[in-house]
Each structure stands twice: as C-alpha cells, then as structure tokens.
Amino acid sequence: MGVAKKTRKFAMARDLQFMIVKRVIGKKDDRRKDDDEKIAAELKKKKEKEAIREIPQMPSSMFWQHNTALVPPYQILIDTNFLSRTVGAKLPLMETAMDCLFASVNICISSCVMAELEKLGPKYRVALMIARDERWTRLTCDHPGTYADDCIVDRIQKHRIYIVGTNDRDLKRRIRKVPGVPVMSVAKGKYVIERLPGAPTT
C-alpha cells in the first residue's frame, strides 16, 4: 500500500511539472513599450558614436563638381572591363576616346590592370595585346595585392587628374562618390562620358 502511494505522488508531481507553463507578455503590453524605447535609444547612441565627425578636405583645384585640374590632354585611366568591352565593340581605343572628348588624350594603364589581364588567360589575349601597346602610359603600383578596383579608387582620391574608363557597375558607384572625377564607358558602339563639365553625354 505504501509503495502505491509513493508511486502516485511521483506521478502527480511529474504531471504538475508539465502543466506549469510560463506566461508570455503580450505584444501590446505597456511593459514591452518601455523595452522598445530603451533599445531605440541605445541604437541612436550607437549611431551617433559611429557617425563621421570629420569631412575629408577637397583639393584646391575643386570648385563644387567642377575640377579645374582636368585639362587636355586628358589622362584616361582604364580598367580590364573597359578594355574587353572596347575589343568586343571593335573600337580603336585612342581615336574613339578623342572623338568622345573632342581633345587629345593620354591612355593610362596601371600595373594592377596589366596583372589582372594576364591572370584572365587566353580569352583576353587581344585586350592584353592592346594594353601592351607602347603608346600608353604605364603606371607602377607600390601597394600590396593586385585588385585593380581598389588601386583605381585609391589613385583617383590622391590625384584627381584622371577620367576613369570602366563599365563595372560597382566601380562606377565607388567613383561617383569621389567628387570631380568623370567616368567614361562603352555604350552602343561608342564611348560616353558622365560628370565632365561641358562634354557631350550621348
């Protein structure tokens, strides 16, 4: 009889354990509103701490979006994508650039772009042949790595004397954040330019 009682007590305790359920605070409860306000205030403080306090100084050649350092002969800094699109459209590099800008140009190719073209293999051999032309100015890079996009962005931030030739969307987006640096791209069998004062866009 005593054994049966013990078993019954144990079973009851176990059933009670499963019956205990924690109450959840409802979504419209006032106590939740206080927590939401605290979280919002903390996020606001975090954003204020992360906010940039200093604005980078613009070069003296800048006047609003107009860069007075951009004068003929224009220095065109080109990337891999621009070269491959030029080859695909069967356009002569220098002549098409001169037709677009109505001025003499100087094509510049960095060592990072050359390294990138060499890595891409036989598919880009024509673009590599064009890049090796002795008429173009070779720019040597002293930074680690061979990622051409970072190289171009770093170069235009230091020296705003270039027009960047690219068809890469991400790189264009990055260049547009740098004031006074025009972007040239291949479109509809010709070169088009944006953000160059007084230049045709179509």
- Residue ranges of the domains in the chain? 73-194
How confident is the prediction along the chain (202 residues), in pLDDT tens digits per residue?
555 555 555 455 555 555 555 566 676 666 666 667 788 888 888 777 665 556 567 777 776 557 888 889 999 999 999 999 999 999 999 999 999 999 999 999 999 999 999 999 899 999 999 999 999 999 998 877 778 899 999 999 999 999 999 999 999 999 998 888 999 999 999 999 987 766 545 4
Handedness of CA 84, 88, 92, 95 (dihedral sign): negative
Question: Which sign, positive or negative, has the C-alpha torsion 158, 162, 163, 164?
Answer: negative
Contacts 24+ apart (CB under 8 A), 44-49: none
Choose which CATH entry (3.40.50.1010, 3.40.50.800, 3.40.50.300, 2.160.10.10) describes domain 73-194: 3.40.50.1010
pLDDT of 147 reads: 85
Residue 41 pLDDT: 84
Q: What is the pTM of this model?
A: 0.68
The Cα–Cα gap between 74 and 97 comes to 10
CA 50 from centroid of its chain's CA atoms:
20
Cβ within 8 Å of residue 84, ≥6 positions away: 124, 127
127 near 80, Cβ under 8 Å?
yes
Q: Could you give the CA distance from residue 19 to residue 35 in angstroms, rounded to a whole number?
A: 29
pLDDT at 80: 94
pLDDT of residue 121: 87
Residue (of 192, 188, 160, 187) closest to 175 by Cα position:
160
- Report which DSSP code applies to 73: S
